[in-house]
Structure formats: structure tokens, C-alpha cells
Amino acid sequence: MLYSILIYVDESRVDAMSVAEEEAHVAKHIVIHDQLVEQGRMGPVVRLMPTSTAVQVRTKGEPMLIDGPFAETKEQFLGFYIVDCETIEEAIAVARSLPSIGTIFEVRPVKLFFPGNGLKQVG
């Protein structure tokens, strides 16, 4: 079954990282990524740009476009993994293996998945 691992973190913690710290943090993610690829369990991985680059399209009533940021919590949605695991416990184990900087990982089964058409890799 496919599981999403949603990543929430206080953007100020990410912004405070030096280039070397961020590169070291990403390198830890790549180790887990490569292990999951080797096991045939890795789906898409996405890291989002800061909330200050986002806009919202609200469709309740008359559609409106609103510039970000809009989060009313300390933690912002930073990105996600899609992993193929037999059980939610396995997906939780993957989430626990990911590097953290005070991160919240939300593990949730995926109900519907469209693999897309092979978009160009970014980053």
C-alpha cells in the first residue's frame, strides 16, 4: 500500500540553517531515498518552496486569489514522500528514519495515486 509521509517544520528553523547544514541535512535524506529506491519502495518526493512564494485559490463563494503566507501555525508543510509499505508500521519506521530539525511527520495512507507523465526532475 502507498503511504504519504507529510513533512511539517517551522520555516524559521530551515531559514536559519547554513548552506553546509542544509546540504548535510539533504544528504541524510538522500541516504534514506537511495535505500528505498533500492528496495523498490520509493515514490515521488517533493520539497516545497517557502510559504512566502505561495498563493491560495479559494473557491468558497466567488473565487479569490490570495498571496501567501497563510499558515496559522508554527509548522509549515515543507514537502512529502510517497512510499510503498506493507503496513502503516513500516511507513512509520521510514518516517522515524528521516532526519529531523524539530520536524513533524504525518503518515497517512494514500487513497488515490496518479503517477503523472514523467515530469522533469527539479533540484
Structural domain harbouring 15: 2-109
Collect all residues with Cβ–Cβ distance below 8 Å to 13 and sequence separation of at least 6: 101, 102
- The strand pairing partners of 57, in sequence order, are 65
For residue 18, pLDDT over 60 is answered with: yes
CA dist list (Å): 58 to 13, 61, 66? 29, 8, 8
Count of domains for the chain: 1
Which amino acid is present at 112?
A: L
Indicate the average pLDDT of the chain: 88
Which CATH number is 41's domain given?
3.30.70.1060
Query: Among the ranges 10-24, 58-72, 106-120, which has the highest mean pLDDT value?
Result: 10-24
Domain membership of residue 116 (yes or no) is no
- Find out whether 94 and 32 touch, Cβ atoms under 8 Å: yes
Give CA–CA dist 101/78, Å, rounded: 12
Give CA–CA dist 87/70, Å, rounded: 34
Least confident of 1-5, 9-13, 16-20, 34-38: 9-13
Give CA–CA dist 87/91, Å, rounded: 7
Domain membership of residue 65 (yes or no) is yes
Domain membership of residue 99 (yes or no) is yes
